Structure 1
Amino acid sequence: MKDSSGDNQVMSPIKRKFWPKGVPANGSVPQVTLPHYLETAALRYPDKAAIIYCGRHISYRELRQHVHAMAGFLQQKMQLARGDRVLLMSQNCPQFVIAFYAVLQLGAVVVPVNAMCTTSEIQHYMDDSGARFAFVAQELLKQVVPCMQSNREDGLRHVMVHSYHDFVEDLADPDLPDFVRQHSDLALSDGMVAFSEALQAGLSAGAVQTYPDDFCVLPYTSGTTGKPKGCIHTHATLLASLVNSAIWRNLHAESVMLSVAPMFHMLGMQNGMNMPIMLGGTVVMMPRWNADLALKLMEKHRVSVWTAPPAMVLDCFSQPSADQRDLSSLALLSGGGAAMPEAIAAMLKTRFGIVYNEGYGMTETASFLHCNPLEHSKRQCLGIPTQGVDSRIVDPGTLQELSQGEVGELITSGPQVMKGYWQNEQANQESFLERDGRVFFRTGDLARIDEEGYFFMCDRLKRMINVSGYKVWPSEVENTFYDHPAVHEVCIVGIQDSVKGEVVKALVVLKPEYKGQLSERDLIAWARENMAVYKAPRLLEFVEKLPKSNTGKIMWRKLQADQNNITGEKV
């Protein structure tokens, strides 16, 4: 795809009215790579804590040494080369950061994999990306082993396995999750290497020339009509998002950031890993969400910045201990993925003096795209297009631009927009268009612009369910359900939920011979074994038939509207 950043844009009078003071209309994207920032931070702040994880302080000097050692092992022992794709599957931990930056140092490509994925989903990522290397956390190895098939030349050749406890300061700490405390009990087969052994080898990598426009990260977004699609991101697209976000939100080297959103997700990767390293700041990293522990860590380490989805924020500040903690250091609470409910926003403002800074982004835009100005925020709002971003509302059918207040599809152009979908020309043709000398990406979100230039989400052009910020495409879930021998027909709908935003519900028509032989709970359990947990329905209902249009298509919109006041079997 062509560069979507375009020439410098002229700011409209409406947009200029609420534009943050001191923020340029068009940000300058640094002509360096992500590892450059780790090197710079290690030179500037060698003894400063880069990561605080389960009581362990890892300095920038130590982090750089680990990254260099891992890069040396990957290059010398595994022959990882420029352009190779590497799966990275883990909960948040220092090993995730080390692996990520070691791979990028060698000019290779990270393929982040959701830790909840099943073997069949991992197999798709491996096959589609062509990955032959993987970093895998110990407890997730069982999902990956079947992909290491010795009789297949295109299977995983090398798997690096890490144990979280290797970077833990005190294994007796009562706040440690059990999966972190678990000691290494690795029965490593051919092709597997322990992460700790690779670091201890102390090897050095030969220099590899890398460039800002090099392809470096391939995150997958769930498919609207089938399998997930890979998003081609470069150092430049990721840095455009990071640098502009830092300027917009007044972030700096003394920022202390809480990282708990999963780093295999773009929200966590960009805000909880790449952002603090780019700034030379400190990240307080949690392996898994724990509301009471988050409050404790924010107080103890004087956390100043936290980026999280609304569901996590609600859980945190609903804890009885929230009122007893000193959270005066928290200067910025931001996020996106779902609208912040009015009641929660009001509670944050009244009780804690915090305004939740809502933004809008996608995997395809490296997270940061729109944002509310800090001094002029609107609630349940996507904000305004940020530096260098041109977003418009068009008619989904004709693609003609619509007037202020009219609802249409949001299209966007900016330096953080991905370069295209990986090896999927049809998806690229459907998703990109050229206008006024710029390349625009079709988001599939239906929105409107108010009289002051702020964007508001209205609906979705594509069928999508938002579960705590995770995108679930109903057609993908339906395709998996049809693999079950008892399922005759199925329709997946989204049900409104006060905590998660939406939850997934399945309406299932069983084949006659299976009626009375299979319970709703049985089918939910099967779904959880065959797809990532967040995709699997929490609600399921057996029905006699599904309504269809004159053309024979299942009327999912009608079902979704009808079902939002009905509950089925819930687990």
Structure 2
Amino acid sequence: MVNHFAYWPKRLSTSLSIPETTLYDNLVVAAKRYPHNEAVYYYGASYTYQQLLEEVDKVAGFLQHTLHVKKGDRVLLYMQNSPQFVISYFAILRANAVVVPINTMNTTEELAFYMTDCSMKHAIVGQELWPRVKPFLHSHLEAAIVGAYSHYLPEKPDFEDLPKEVAMAAIPFNEKGVYTWGNVLQAGCLPKKDEGSPDDLAVLPYTSGTTGLPKGCMHTHRTVQANVIGGYHWINITSNSLSLQTLPLFHVTGMTNSMLVPIYAGASMVIMTRWNREYAKQIIQTNNVTHWVTISTMLIDFLSNKQLLKEDLRSLVNITGGGAPLPEAVGQKLFQLTGIQFLEGYGLSETIAQTHLNPPDHTKLQCLGIPVFDVDARVIDPISLKELGDNEEGEIIVRGPQVFKGYYNRPDETKYSFIELDGKSFFRTGDIGRQDQEGYYFMVDRVKRMINASGFKVWPSEVENTLYKHPAIQQACVIGAPDAHRGETVKAFVILQEEAKGNVTEDDIIEWAKNQMAAYKYPRIVEFRDALPTTSSGKILWRQLQEEETKDEVTY
């Protein structure tokens, strides 16, 4: 449990005190220290910390005085990355309410669950998403603020191919209880006295629901601050850094590391509403981006750009991410272009992002990293709950200051998710992993994702990591396919590199794989696809592919 300290980042303590302040206080301090620093850069428009704080307070005042939002109320935040998302997030906190950030891919039917689950009466919504929320007006919702992202565009944006949601002009609304972003700012309301405390509930991110219905993870200002302060120190961000914001802010990794960490530092954020590798290349080069938190699928797409040159990326000093292991070949290409080692990390909604990160001076590819500040992590047998030794595969459990306070209105599921070990309470992640002799953690797979091929355990992520070594493969996703003889067999969905299409066959991939891994592991079936289903944060939806495969089998 202490071997990893030998590789701890130089000049950093192994423990951090968490401030007795709120997340909103971080913004106030940044605005006082650096009032004229650029806080947000949005397709050519620049906004300072002083401007950001002024607008946060106006929205908070409107929430309190006009919409009558009270302390502890849950407020829906249903927006894509934008200045309005950042402003709304902090305004809800300033109103002493709770941010409920919901995935913008959710439909009206899916939103109904969240509306009921945490009894939301107020919402702040992106204009393009309003049709999905409108059916809840005057049933669940008492009032809503609707924002057009174009409100923050300059006269001449710095990119011609703007996302349509960004270019869309503001639409007037006549419905009772619906207020436009312009209405809110023009009202000029000032918030009431701030009554926030570090142990107030601050944000309620929902789990993805891969093992059942989504569950709201209760995070206080204190639990979130643990990772904000930790992330700030780990990646060496300063008040003159420029962070590229490409991960969705409703997701805990993007929220914590692409928004809350830069604001704590008083740094600048370049906001991208939708991912576009051409714009990312342009903005890194022209604006001298220093920090980027991303995900492996996004980075793979970015590095697939044949026009990308070493000079384009010279300003970057730190690239961090998680969600899925970065293929070794991609990591090597990134290092050749930038001299930067990709810092992979690991965390969950229940831990508001990271519990593990790779140390900047001693990274390992396809590795979760080491436990971060004040985190105690172990590997246990998921059945007997006995602690396992080095390189033994079992369930990862964690204990730390960023661990949530429980699932909202689900005491039984909260109780089941924790175990006691050595007199301490640990959260059960549901992830299968191992720890090497140096204290680094490696993901094996989700407990539910294992393939049972003729009695042999096959972990899809291990097969995927091997497939990524093939030069023709751009992306891969492995699932279990029904098999009359083996029970299950290994199937790989593959996206080929452009130059390989028409020149490499499915059988070529299978034959190559035979020589790369054990006989029970290599894919017996390969299916080429032009695209794979992903979440808005870039994670491949393996479960959707798995369900499609099972459905097809039942149909026949």
TM range (shorter): 0.7 to 0.9
Matching residue within 135, 153, 162 for 1:168:
153
1:260 pairs with one of 234, 246, 260? 246
Aligned equivalent of 1:555 = none
Residues 139-158 of structure 1 mapped to structure 2, 5 A cutoff: 139-148=128-137, 150=138, 152=139, 155-158=140-143
User: SS where residue 82 of structure 1 aligns?
Assistant: coil
Q: CA deviation at 1:535?
A: 8.6
- What one-letter code is carried by the residue in structure 1 that aligns with 2:248? P
Residue 104 of structure 2 is aligned to residue 115 of structure 1: yes
Judging changes above 3 Å, is the alpha-carbon distance between structure 1 residues 494 and 225 closer, same or farther for their aligned structure 2 residues? farther
What secondary structure, in the 3-state scheme, does the structure 2 residue paired with 1:46 have? coil
Pick aligned residue for 2:433 from 447, 459, 468: 447
**Amino acid across the alignment from 2:131:** K
> In the alignment, what sits opposite 2:188?
202
- Say if 2:292 is the partner of 1:303: no
User: 2: CA distance between counterparts of 1:368 and 1:324?
Assistant: 30
1:49 aligned to which of 38, 47, 53: 38
- Asked whether the 8 Å contact 1:359–1:372 carries over to 2, the reply is yes
- The counterpart of 1:137, out of the listed 108, 111, 126, is 126
Q: Which amino acid aligns with 2:147?
A: H
- C-alpha displacement at 1:188, in angstroms? 3.7
Q: Do residues 84 (structure 1) and 67 (structure 2) align?
A: no
> Per the alignment, in what secondary structure is the counterpart of residue 308 of structure 1?
strand
What's the CA shift for 1:330? 0.1
Amino acid at match of 1:49: E
User: Counterparts of 1:44 and 1:416 in 2: how far apart (Å)?
Assistant: 27
Deviation at 1:495, TM superposition (A): 5.3
| Partner of residue 25, structure 2 | 36
Percent sequence identity over aligned pairs: 41
On the 8 A contact 1:161/1:192 being kept in 2, the answer is yes
Residue deviations 1:165-196 (CA, integer Å, cap 9, x gap)? 00000356513222211112243412111011
Aligned residue for 1:427?
413
Measure, in 2, the Cα distance between the counterparts of 1:220 and 1:430: 17
> How far apart, in 1, do the equivalents of 2:217 and 2:429 lie?
13
Cα RMSD, aligned residues only: 2.6
Counterparts of residues 1-12 of structure 1 (less than 5 Å): 12=2
Distance verdict in 2 for CA 1:401–1:44, change over 3 Å: same
Distance 1:287 1:535, change over 3 A: farther
TM-score (norm 2): 0.82
Name the SS of the counterpart of 2:403 in structure 1: coil
- Give distance in 2, aligned partners of 1:40 and 1:538: 46
Count of equivalent residues: 480
8 Å contact from structure 2 (residues 232, 264) kept in 1: no
2:142 partner letter: R
Please give the alpha-carbon distance, in whole angstroms, between the structure 1 residues aligned to 2:298 and 2:29: 33
| Preserved CA contact (<8 Å) 1:311 1:499 | no
- Whole-Å Cα distance in 2 between the matches of residues 446 and 354 of structure 1? 28
Q: Is the contact made by 1:402 and 1:408 (CA closer than 8 Å) also made in structure 2?
A: yes
User: 2:117 is matched with which residue?
Assistant: 128
Pair 136,533 (structure 1): closer, same or farther in 2 beyond 3 Å: farther
User: Any idea what the Cα deviations from partners look like across 1:506-540, whole Å, max 9, x if unmatched?
Assistant: xxxxxxxxxxxxxxxxxxxxxx9xxx996994684
> Alpha-carbon deviation of 1:227?
1.5
8 A Cα contact 1:134 1:158, kept in partner: yes
The amino acid of 2:127's aligned partner reads Q
CA shift in 2, pair 1:533/1:365, >3 Å: closer
* Equivalent position amino acid for 1:40 in 2: V
The TM-score normalised by the length of structure 1 is 0.80
Q: Secondary structure at the match of 2:183?
A: helix
Matched residue type, 1:389: V
**Structure 1 position 314 matched with structure 2 position 314:** no
State the distance in 1 between where 2:374 and 2:42 align: 35
- The match for 1:272 among 254, 258, 280 is 258
Q: How does 1:370-449 map to 2 (within 5 A)?
A: 370-449=356-435
- Larger relative contact order (C-alpha < 8 A, sep ≥ 6)? 1
Query: CA, structure 1 residues 191+213, in 2 after alignment: closer, same or farther (shift >3 Å)?
Result: same
Q: Structure 1 residues 498 and 338, CA, compared in 2 at 3 Å: closer, same or farther?
A: farther
Alignment-derived partner of residue 503 in structure 2: none
Cα pair 1:292 1:321 within 8 Å, conserved:
no
CA contact (8 A) 2:224 2:402 kept: yes
8 Å CA contact retained: 2:173, 2:180: no
Q: What SS is found at the alignment partner of 2:448? A: coil
Aligned with 2:166 (options 172, 175, 180): 180
Contact 1:109 1:216 in 2 (8 A): yes
For residues 434 and 284 of structure 1, the distance between their equivalents in structure 2, rounded to whole angstroms, comes to 43
> Which stretches in structure 2 are left out of the alignment for 5+ residues?
451-459, 465-476, 480-487, 498-534
For residues 38 and 352 of structure 1, the distance between their equivalents in structure 2, rounded to whole angstroms, comes to 32
Unaligned runs of 5+ in 1: 1-10, 475-490, 501-527, 548-571
